[in-house]
Amino acid sequence: MNAKTLLPLALLLLLAAGLPVRAAETAPALAEARPAGRSVVLTAFTRARAAMDLTAENPGKVAFVAGEVGQAIGKDGVFARLDATLTGLELDKNRTDQARLASSVAYLDKEAGRYRTLVAGSVADQATLDRLEQDLDSARHQLAALQVEEKRLAEVMARSTVRAPAGWRIMRRDVEPGQWVAAGQVLGRAGDYAVLLAPLALAPEELTALRQAGDALQAELPDLGLTVPARVYRMSPAFDPETRKTDLDLVLGGDIPERRGGLRVRLALSIPDPAGAVLLPEAALHKRYDEYYLLREDGSRVPVVLQERTKDGMVRVVNHGLAPGDRFRLGAEN
């Protein structure tokens, strides 16, 4: 085979090899329309799962406050202590009285035992025995009363320490040491920030969308630059006539480095759009003379109304007769 024969053959082969490549190049890239829900962004601010006021049960002077606002309550659960000196003195006196009474009881018991023997031997009169018996009972009762009093005083002593659940964070501190407080006065407030909730009020279709998201529900914490999993923690069965919405709390999961209230939580929900909008890549949208249109596979134009450009390079368009699943050309019109 000489060069004259080879050259055309090589050219033919090249041409044949190039043909499918060319065909592939000319076939337009297509994009499929996706249903475009209406994007609803709900904002909430984190709250403690629970919070409580820390209240003095007894009046008294504040002897000690365990922590500052924002600090966690220690394992002993102490928030503050009131001065309990007087209660301690009363307790001491009570115990002294109890010792004295116990001694009296012992004496009278012995005395009464002796008289019982005597009376049984008819050596002593019954009246003296009865008197001794009564004295003994009286002493015993007094002792029991003092024991009860001792318990009360001990309880008072214990309650002079204002406590909160260990680990809760002090939200508010209203007292300082040395300050006299009345019984029932709120000394501060503590909350459980170990579990962060985000309260929302949802319209029915929003609630449906939230439920449909299930475990995939994600909440954005833009202040921290985090996206964390979320789930419904509790839902109020009550009806709010003003809003006509359902109140619920989302609990935020994940590792949130800063657990506090007031963190902005953003929840994006996609709810069905009754107008029938679809989502397409921006490259599928063409604009001429202020009119937007898409190009079907056959090159025919479908005029649309542009509703929104999303941040991820998609466009949300709407028109009668436009349905999810329709395919449109990408790129410039020929």
Supply 59's token pair.
């009046």
Give the span between the Cα atoms of 121 and 56, in whole angstroms: 62
> In angstroms, rounded to a whole number, what is the distance separating the alpha carbons of residues 331 and 26?
12
Determine the interface stretch with other proteins among 136-144, 147-155, 211-219, 244-252 (rule: CB under 8 A). 244-252
Q: How far is the CB of 313 from other proteins (least distance, A)?
A: 16
- Which residues make Cβ contacts (< 8 Å) with residue 124, sequence separation at least 6? 115, 118
- Our finding on whether 245 is near other proteins (CB under 8 A) is yes
Q: At what angle do helices 126-159 and 85-120 cross, to 10 degrees?
A: 160
Q: Is 290 in the site for other proteins (CB under 8 A)?
A: yes
CA dist 213 and 268 (Å) reads 11
Q: Given the complex with other proteins, which of 131 and 244 has the nearer CB atom?
A: 244
Partnered with residue 296 across adjacent β-strands are 328
- One of 109, 247, 282, 326 touching other proteins (CB under 8 A): 247
| Among 302, 307, 327, 330, interactor with other proteins by CB under 8 A | 307
Stated as kind and residue range, the H or E segment containing 232 is strand 226-235
- C-beta separation of 280 from 36 below 8 A: no
Both tokens of 318, joined, read: 């709407």
Could you give the string, one character per residue 90-129, with x where binding to other proteins holds by CB under 8 A and - elsewhere?
Answer: ----------------------------------------
The only residue of 18, 113, 303, 324 in contact with other proteins, by rule CB under 8 A: 303
> Counting contacts by CB under 8 A, is residue 289 touching other proteins?
yes
Q: Which stretch binds other proteins (CB under 8 A): 11-19, 128-136, 144-152, 284-292?
A: 284-292
Longest distance between any two alpha carbons in the chain, whole Å: 159
Instruction: Tell the smallest beta-carbon distance from residue 286 to other proteins (Å).
Output: 12
C-alpha span between 79 and 162 (Å, rounded): 5
Q: Is residue 296 involved in binding other proteins (CB under 8 A)?
A: no
# residues contacting other proteins (CB under 8 A): 32
Residue 131 lies near other proteins (rule: CB under 8 A): no
Residue 115 or 193: the one with the smaller Cβ distance to other proteins is 193
Number of residues written out for the chain? 334
Is 291 a binding residue for other proteins by CB under 8 A? The answer is yes
Is 302 an interacting residue with respect to other proteins (CB under 8 A)? no
Q: Are 281 and 316 in contact (CB under 8 A)?
A: no
Q: Which of residues 37-96 bind other proteins (CB under 8 A)?
A: 38, 40, 42-45
Residue of the chain from 30, 118, 201, 228 that contacts other proteins (CB under 8 A): 201
At residue 128, φ and ψ (nearest 5 deg) are: -65, -40
- Backbone torsions φ then ψ of 328, nearest 5 degrees: -135, 155
- Smaller CB distance to other proteins: residue 51 or 72? 51
Is 200 a binding residue for other proteins by CB under 8 A? The answer is yes
Reported as type and span, the H/E element at residue 124 is none
d(CA 7, CA 3): 6
Whole-number Å distance between alpha carbons of 124 and 117: 9
What's the closest the beta carbon of residue 167 comes to other proteins, in angstroms? 26
Positions that interact with other proteins (CB under 8 A): 38, 40, 42-45, 198-204, 239-245, 247, 266, 274-275, 288-291, 303, 305, 307-308
